[in-house]
Chain A
Amino acid sequence: AQSVTQPDIHITVSEGASLELRCNYSYGATPYLFWYVQSPGQGLQLLLKYFSGDTLVQGIKGFEAEFKRSQSSFNLRKPSVHWSDAAEYFCAVGARIRSSGNTGKLIFGQGTTLQVKP
């Protein structure tokens, strides 16, 4: 079964500092991978996605993520954090292949709350 782990529940960084949010997944084949951001009281906005090809993907708002098959990871990075990046970040995995028991749904991690210090 698919699963997603975001080890860091809460992270605080200073404005202008670099950021890395961790995501580890469990799946028997190469999954589809996503990062979403959620501001308070809002729905989820897609930051970036990985389906295939280049393992370093660029997203919106200056974010990027790298798929590392050997580590089953898809960590999100940003070189310089802005105060407006404070939000909750969710990593999600989708099953690539339709097989028995796989319904193609997205499985989300528990989220990482990012706080940005002035």
Chain B
Amino acid sequence: EAGVVQSPRYKIIEKKQPVAFWCNPISGHNTLYWYLQNLGQGPELLIRYENEEAVDDSQLPKDRFSAERLKGVDSTLKIQPAELGDSAVYLCASSLATNTEAFFGQGTRLTVV
């Protein structure tokens, strides 16, 4: 069974440019998470979806970040415009349901220059 797939693995962009990350969760997993991981820190939740509904986006900086999960499967996380402080690893995870174990993708390492 394929795990959580994220792309790209690495992205370097100039500040003020837009960037998008894509995530394909494990088949059948209704819950999808986007986490932000700064260097030397644990992951912090940005947004959680149950099917296509965003049920927790309280930590998502909505002035520049947006996310969608059309049809309740794949998800895209976008930043526009990117700032230097957005340099981090963006992790996608999925689980069968909330409060079951989450399975993580390999992450996208974003560098904003």
Contacts and interface: CB of A to CB of B under 8 A. Distances in A.
Interface stretch (A11-19, A41-49, A64-72, A78-86): A41-49
Contact of A108 (B42, B55, B99, B106): B42
Interface in A45-100: 45-46, 49, 90, 92, 94-96
Given A46-B103, A104-B98, A104-B99, A90 B42 contact: yes
Given A42-B106, A111-B42, A103 B56 contact: yes
B58 interface: yes
A105 B33 contact: yes
Interface residues of B, number: 24
Given A32-B99, A43-B4, A94-B99, A105 B104 contact: no
Interface of B: 4, 33, 40-45, 48, 55-56, 58, 91, 93, 98-99, 101-107, 109
